[in-house]
Amino acid sequence: MCFRANFNLIFFVICFALLRNSNAQTARTDPSEVRALNTIFQKWDVSIPRNLWNISGEPCTGTALGRDFDEAYNNPSIECNCTFDSNTTCHITKLKVSQLNRQGVILEEIAALTYLAVLKLDQNAFTGTLPTFLGNISAMVILSLAHNQFFGTIPKELGNLKELAMLAVSSNNFSGTLPPELGNLPKLEFLWASDSPFSGKIPSFIGNWTKLLQLRLQGNNFEGPIPASFSNLTSLTSLRVSDLQNVSSSLDFIIHLRNLEDLDLSFNNLNGSLPRTLMNMTSLISLFLGNNSLSGSFPQWVEPTWSMPNLQLNLVANNFKFDSTNISTFPGLNCLQRDFPCNRSTNPYTSFAIKCGGSQMRSANGILFETENSISLGPASYYLNQEKWAVSNGGIVIDRKDPSFIASTTNPVDNTRYPELFRTSRKSPGSLRYYGLGLQNGPYTISLFFAETVFNRTRNTWQGHGRRVFDIYIQGNRRQRDFDISKEAGGIGRALVKNFDVNVTQNHLEIHLFWAGKGTCCIPEQGDYGPLISAIQVSPGFKVKSKSNKTGMIIGIVAGVASVSLLLLGFGLYMKRKSKHREEDEFLGMGPKIINS
Q: Does residue 227 have a pLDDT over 80? A: yes
Summarize the confidence of residues 524-536 as an average pLDDT: 82
Q: Does residue 250 have a pLDDT over 60? A: yes
- Return the pLDDT at 323: 81
d(CA 327, CA 292) in angstroms, rounded, equals: 20
- Rg of the chain over Cα atoms, rounded to whole angstroms, equals 28
Residues 263-311: tens digit of each pLDDT: 989 888 899 998 888 877 888 888 888 778 888 887 666 665 666 667 7
Summarize the confidence of residues 2-22 as an average pLDDT: 45
Q: Does residue 589 have a pLDDT over 70? A: no
| Domain annotation covers residue 493 | yes
- Return the pLDDT at 25: 54
d(CA 307, CA 118) in angstroms, rounded, equals: 42
Summarize the confidence of residues 407-424 as an average pLDDT: 92
Summarize the confidence of residues 562-591 as an average pLDDT: 32
| Domain annotation covers residue 92 | no
pLDDT bucket at 362, cuts 50 / 70 / 90: very high
Summarize the confidence of residues 493-498 as an average pLDDT: 96
Residue numbers of the domain that contains 485? 352-568
Q: How many CB atoms lie within 10 A of CB 527?
A: 18
- Return the pLDDT at 12: 44
- Return the pLDDT at 432: 86
- Return the pLDDT at 587: 28
| Domain annotation covers residue 367 | yes
- Return the pLDDT at 581: 32
Side by side, the strands of the sheet bearing 368-372 are 361-362, 368-372, 352-356, 535-540, 442-451, 495-504
Q: What's the one-letter identity of residue 48?
A: I
| Domain annotation covers residue 436 | yes
Calculate the alpha carbon distances from 592 to 299, 311, 326, 336 in Å: 22, 8, 20, 16
Strands 166-168, 190-192: pairing is parallel
Position with higher pLDDT, 227 vs 393: 227
Determine what percent of the chain is predicted with pLDDT higher than 70: 75
Residues 326-341: tens digit of each pLDDT: 777 776 676 666 665 6
What is the number of structural domains in the chain? 1
Q: Does residue 321 have a pLDDT over 80? A: yes
Its pTM stands at 0.75
d(CA 167, CA 189) in angstroms, rounded, equals: 9
- Return the pLDDT at 340: 58
Q: Does residue 58 have a pLDDT over 80? A: yes
| Domain annotation covers residue 457 | yes
The CA-based angle 166-167-170, given to 5 degrees, is 130
C-beta separation of 591 from 379 below 8 A:
yes
CATH (domain of 524): 2.60.120.430
* Share in percent of the chain as helix, strand, coil (round to 5): 20, 30, 50
Q: What's the one-letter identity of residue 16?
A: F
Q: Does residue 28 have a pLDDT over 50? A: yes
Q: Does residue 14 have a pLDDT over 90? A: no
| Domain annotation covers residue 374 | yes
2: left (phi over 0), alpha (psi -120 to 50) or beta: alpha
Residues 70-103: tens digit of each pLDDT: 998 899 999 999 999 999 999 999 999 998 989 9
Residues 153-201: tens digit of each pLDDT: 999 999 999 999 999 999 899 999 999 999 999 999 999 998 888 999 9
What's the first-to-final CA gap in the chain, in angstroms? 75
- Return the pLDDT at 565: 34
| Domain annotation covers residue 563 | yes
d(CA 509, CA 512) in angstroms, rounded, equals: 10
- Return the pLDDT at 301: 60
| Domain annotation covers residue 376 | yes
- Return the pLDDT at 305: 64
- Return the pLDDT at 522: 63
Average pLDDT, the chain: 80
C-beta separation of 517 from 218 below 8 A:
yes
d(CA 245, CA 201) in angstroms, rounded, equals: 9
